[in-house]
Structure 1
């Protein structure tokens, strides 16, 4: 065993040194970056600097030295980082087709995305177009979202009941993170599978989903260490495969049940509520003889839908509510806007301050500090540098959102900047005109759930502020420091004291 390991390392080292020496003559045009060692690249330097978990802090320093586009060798693979909105727009919008691919996944983990048959991992091509078009037209279109109004109220009632019960047992103090997560997940399960499932089943789905995703996130560095990754990560790969199998055991009965329900519907008729799964069951893959999606692909796509719509949105919800607790005047101004209105989709367009609060929350606290890595479909010369095919290209969301040249008092929570007359009036969050912030990415790979995420945030924030007054816990301050889990979350979860608005109104009415 030891001899085999030494031999593997020797071969890998020899090959890497040859590639390194040879490539020094052919990759001079890569964007600049710190010197790198063979095999490990900049890994040791990164760890000595500010730890790899704080990569955006490293990039901030590198930007001052090398400019807004830099190369870091994480292992043996050059990774490109773009930290400027102008360059991001030039890449993702002006050269959108070229920059819309994904890096090739490590072969040993390709099965975890069902051979890239999910939207986020699919190569830029017909499969990606088919799956994305289906999601947008059959699930995310407003006409498809509207019938879930009863489901949104159901999910909010779950949340409000949990918060109310928690506040009544602890002097009004709540720690809402888990309740936010569960309510959002319950709503997304309903949208995915078309059924209001009981808590036990929802918890089983949630546990299987989280266990798989948290473990899969530990495999992030596999593509950067191809020479030795397969050997050293074998145990982690086996665990990930086993967790996917357990996830299938939970998801497949739900898929089978939905198929049976569809058979009971009269030919030509639609299900009472058309779920995301219903649309997936109709997809045919033209490049594969027109076959239907198989079980593995259905599980992977449903998992992707739940993940994309739950963690990011519930994380953003906690950050926004934390800012409203910290900034009581902003919370009061928001309540003044919504107190006499129904917090539903028909009224949201009239609530400009609510939208400003959501936008500022997404700018200052994006749930991901980097969008998913892009790659180019072919070698391209960009800003005078070579961007090689299959090299991961990363866009720093926080570096753009905190750019003092664009945002006045960028570190402050100021929703007014998104109001009429503000510096970001009529901000185009899609980045089609310019990119000042990109919490959902930009260009052809922009998150297709952008509209739904903003809608859900508006719905939950409006109803939470209408239902409760959110106050500081006496003697405590809101801690806005961060930590990285699956998304970038609050290092110390929000603690707040809730006062039901009905009690406030009754008390004030009594005073009068």
Structure 2
């Protein structure tokens, strides 16, 4: 068990595995940090044995580019954690040109604006009192995602019962995803589910699927009514997918209603967690760095001066410093620190090493974001690193072309929801900064950098701050 397969002598370097369990106990509760520390010893392409799963860990932009771009097709396979298989996860090749298009996103802007107005109203009612920014981001992101996908809100700031129900679902999913699952390391154990993680996840995913199922049934009934009385169709993502289901393109992509429901669930859970956690981290860094906060506030004020308190999504392009803040947040606090695991479909040569067929691939974007060989002063939150001399945003973006900053991945497995996340993140942070002054609630000895890894990398404990009407 401890010797390497003689047919694979040219494997990447890595720590010696223990019998049976391999290197599992060297990973710990914060695998992104443990793996970053190990990579300093064994290099940016490192091999591990996690139970029976042979794994390589990538910690440099150059090797990430080689795998995610040069060998993209070979490494397009997925290793799906058992908890994520609980809702019959489907691997589908989406027709991205039909999803998250500008017309589709523009059509939902009014509804998203309403959700941000509700956020502002909630904060005005609580002005002068400590507010849980994580909670506010939770409710707002929940509704921003739901109006984008379904043209309806799932909760409100005044609906404690509905909010708590969804919070229990999301927290439950976060807890199951954050637990080390031995079934992931020993696939033969998956049918037994010895820790009960998959069974718990099935309950939470089942509740979310029931909500989506009800919404889809209502939409299909509305569609039949629309055909009869010619009502105006909705323009959300559910409608787009249902249109694809009806058209000839469905023959190519096999958009069954069941597949659509699971795809919407994937988008909802992944998009929700990514956006909510990033907003909270961005606000945390802004409140910890008042000089940066002041610069963002002044920039947003200058752009929004002609339309009062309202900022339009189309104006984001005029906010280079805010864009730099979001990029720096992704660098310093990536929502998915190891991205989603990939799998090698065939043997491959990467940086002179053999990567055997079936190898699990983890890309440690958290380690790359903290690497002094890539970033100057990486432990400081400095948005200026993403600004050019003319105070405009640099060419570096987070859309998969610049491998030093790939919070959403790259290549054919890149997250399809980047256009929506980009809009929601910028407009939500801009709204919070533009409409209120803020005072950080400090507790003695509190560490604002403590992370909690679940479906995304969250701040723990949540950010508490006092909104002040400016």
1:110, 1:419 → 2: CA distance? 38
Given candidates 273, 276, 280, the residue that maps to 1:314 is 276
Match of 1:178 in 2: 135
* Higher RCO structure, 1 or 2 (CA under 8 Å, sep 6+): 2
Specify every segment of 5 or more residues in structure 1 that has no aligned partner in the other structure, as ranges: 1-16, 123-127, 502-512
Match of 2:300 in 1: 338
Cα RMSD, aligned residues only: 2.9
Aligned to 1:157: 117
Which of 11, 15, 26 pairs up with 2:7? 26
1:68 is aligned to 2:29: no
CA 1:377–1:241 in 2, change beyond 3 Å: closer, same or farther?
Answer: same
SS at match of 1:231: coil
Question: For 1:344-383, what aligned pairs fall within 5 Å after superposition?
Answer: 344-383=312-351
Q: Does 1:143 align with 2:103?
A: yes
Report the CA distance shift for 1:370/1:466 in structure 2 as closer, same or farther (over 3 A).
same
1:166 and 1:174 in contact (8 A); partners too? yes
Q: Distance in 2 between matches of 1:68 and 1:219?
A: 24
Distance 2:455 2:374 in 1: 29
Contact 1:322-1:478 at 8 Å conserved across structures: no
Aligned to 2:396: 427
Secondary structure of the residue that 1:498 maps to in structure 2? strand
Q: Tell me what 1:293 maps to.
A: 256
Change in 2 beyond 3 A, CA 1:353/1:397: same
Q: Is the 8 A contact 1:38 1:76 kept in 2?
A: no
Distance 2:249 2:315 in 1: 42
Whether the 8 Å contact between 1:440 and 1:446 is mirrored in structure 2 is yes
In the other structure, the counterpart of 1:238 is: 199
**Inter-partner Cα distance in structure 2 for 1:423 and 1:72:** 42
2:59 corresponds in structure 1 to 83
C-alpha distance after superposition, 1:437-488 (max 9, x if no partner): 2111122212112222121111011111110012233676772222223211
2:308 aligned partner: none
User: Secondary structure in 1 aligned to 2:342?
Assistant: coil
Aligned counterpart for 2:427 among listed residues 459, 472, 475: 459
Cα distance change, pair 162–223 in 1 and its aligned pair in 2 (3 A) = same
Is residue 101–residue 374 contact of structure 1 (8 Å, CA) maintained in 2?
Answer: yes
Aligned residue among 436, 439, 442 for 2:404: 436
What is the Cα deviation at residue 267 of structure 1?
A: 7.5
Measured at CA, do residues 374 and 290 of structure 1 come closer, stay the same or move farther in structure 2, by a change above 3 Å?
Answer: closer
Task: Give the TM-score, by structure 2 length.
Answer: 0.88
- Bigger Rg, which one: 1
Deviations 1:64-122 (A, max 9, x none): 3221111111111111100011111111112222222213666xx786342x42xxxx1
Which of the residues 472, 497, 502 maps onto 2:440?
472
Change (3 A) 1:150 1:288: closer
**8 Å contact 1:205–1:251 — kept in the other structure?**
no
1:291 shift after superposition:
6.2
Structure 2: unaligned runs, 5 residues or longer: 305-310
